[in-house]
Amino acid sequence: MKSLPETLPDETNALQKMVLDYQSTVDQLQEKLKWYEEQFCLFQHQRFGASSEKCPDQMELFNEAESILDSLKQDDSDLEETISYQRKKPGRKPLSKHIPREVVRYELPEAERVCECGHALHEAGEDKSEQLEI
């Protein structure tokens, strides 16, 4: 950008020419600023904007197949099947009650029932299982 001269000319034509030069420089700089602002907005949108191309009406572009399926579903709604049976749950059946059971309990000796901090240990839980020996 041109700097202002130390002394301005006294002639009107020269002053008008200087004003026009400065005005054209201002216009160029404003255009340049506008371009940079547009670039900044574009880069911000690329970086922080939505990552996929989604339009509000995008789903309606190719919905012929869905409309056909919807009409078929309305026709098939009369043919709904009701299930009148229950499926068996997977798993093992419990052993019969007349079989004798043996309870095995594992306990720590008194010396090992003390925590490192000096307090007594307490029971946290138990595991139960039944096994049939043949």
Tens digit of each residue's pLDDT (9 = 90 or more) over 13-54: 889 999 999 999 999 999 999 999 999 999 998 888 877 666
Instruction: Identify whether 32 is part of a domain.
Output: yes
pLDDT at 77: 58
* 104: Cβ contacts below 8 Å, ≥ 6 apart: none
User: Does residue 76 carry a pLDDT above 90?
Assistant: no
pLDDT at 126: 86
* Under 8 Å between Cβ of 9 and 15: yes
Instruction: Identify whether 25 is part of a domain.
Output: yes
Q: Whole-number mean pLDDT of the chain? A: 83
User: Does residue 82 carry a pLDDT above 90?
Assistant: no
Instruction: Identify whether 49 is part of a domain.
Output: yes
Domain span holding position 41: 12-74
In whole angstroms, give the CA distance from residue 28 to residue 37: 14
In whole angstroms, give the CA distance from residue 36 to residue 66: 45
Q: The tokens of 111 are what?
A: 């010396």
**What are the b/e assignments for 52-76, b being 16+ CB within 10 Å?**
eeeeeeeeeeeeeeeeeeeeeeeee
Where does the pLDDT of residue 110 fall: very low under 50, low under 70, confident under 90, or very high at 90 and above? confident
Residue 98: DSSP 8-state:
T
Instruction: Identify whether 5 is part of a domain.
Output: no
Where does the pLDDT of residue 57 fall: very low under 50, low under 70, confident under 90, or very high at 90 and above? low
Where do we find the tokens 């506008």? 34
Instruction: Identify whether 30 is part of a domain.
Output: yes
CA distances from 83 to 8, 14, 86, 116 (A): 99, 98, 8, 60
Closest-CA residue to 105 (of 128, 132, 75, 72)? 128
Q: Which ranges of the chain would DSSP assign to H, the alpha helix? A: 12-48, 64-76
Instruction: Identify whether 107 is part of a domain.
Output: no
Query: Under the phi-then-psi rule, with left for phi > 0, alpha for psi from -120 to 50, and beta for the rest, what region is 91?
Result: left
The predicted model gives 89-106 an average pLDDT of 86
Instruction: Identify whether 4 is part of a domain.
Output: no
Query: How many domains does one find in the chain?
Result: 1
Instruction: Identify whether 131 is part of a domain.
Output: no
Which of 14-18, 21-25, 66-70, 118-122 is predicted with the least confidence, judged by mean pLDDT?
Answer: 66-70
